[in-house]
A = this chain, B = another copy of it.
Amino acid sequence: MVRIGILTVSDRASRGEYEDLGGPAIEEWLKRVIATEWVSERRLVPDGVESVRHALLDLCDHAAADLILTTGGTGPSPSDRTPEATSSVVAKELPGFGELMRRVSLETVPTAILSRQIAGIRGKTLIINLPGKPRSIEVCLAAVFPAVPYCLDLIGAGRIETHESLVAAFRPSS
């Protein structure tokens, strides 16, 4: 059974001062798009390298997540440290994810260049940083998700299939 970690990173949401909108937005999007069986592992932590790093390690190494999607903490503010935490747990970075997410987000908002989102691989887990806002999350997921199922195949993670009419996942024929 494919396991997808959804990690919300937000000081305010983790203190209950603010409703977590990013985590539910990711979960709803995945429910619409993924055609095969999967379960979610939701986490909510405050900003910071240690808090995010600890949650990622738990999701990778104990929950055995195939895919982890984070939301929040990727901007230039001093508290935004999600990319640093992600970088510290992955063996390989995949720069094409951040490049493409910034490029498509730029079509909507010029401040998209402030996002430091990265993606990378730890063992059999693919980790992707998403922005904080639900609308931006959808734009980014729509752009990169066609490459996610094949990436999971390549790293030995679980198999995902998508509803082709919503997201045309691509697997090279070979």
Measured CB to CB, the residues of A under 8 A from B are 75-78, 84, 92-100, 102-103, 106, 109-116, 121, 126, 144, 146-147, 150-151, 154-156, 168, 170, 172
Contact = CB atoms under 8 A, between A and B. Distances in A.
A76 B151 contact: yes
B155 A111 contact: no
A126 B114 CA distance: 11
Contact of A112 (B96, B103, B112, B115): B96
A116 B99 contact: no
B114 A96 contact: yes
Contacts of A111: 146-147, 150-151, 170, 172
A83 B161 CA distance: 29
